[in-house]
């Protein structure tokens, strides 16, 4: 199965953004920083 390049780019950007937010949220012990990015990964 081959994925569209736009899909790959979008997913890659979402994952990168989520990782940055996750690290910040973990550091500050504040889930709300990461919550929206996590939601975006599953939509």
Q: Is the pTM of this model over 0.75?
A: yes
Question: What's the confidence (pLDDT) of residue 1?
Answer: 79
Question: What's the confidence (pLDDT) of residue 22?
Answer: 98
Is residue 43 helix, strand or coil? coil
Residue 40, H or E segment: helix 32-41
Rounded to 5°, angle at Cα 32 from 26 and 34: 55
Question: What's the confidence (pLDDT) of residue 43?
Answer: 87
| pLDDT tens per residue across all 43 residues of the chain | 799 999 999 999 999 999 999 999 999 999 999 999 999 999 8
Question: What's the confidence (pLDDT) of residue 7?
Answer: 93
């Amino acid at each position: 199965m081959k994925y569209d390049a736009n899909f790959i780019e979008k997913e890659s950007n979402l994952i990168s953004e989520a990782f940055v937010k996750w690290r910040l949220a973990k550091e500050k012990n504040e889930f709300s920083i990461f919550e929206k990015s996590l939601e975006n990964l599953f939509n």
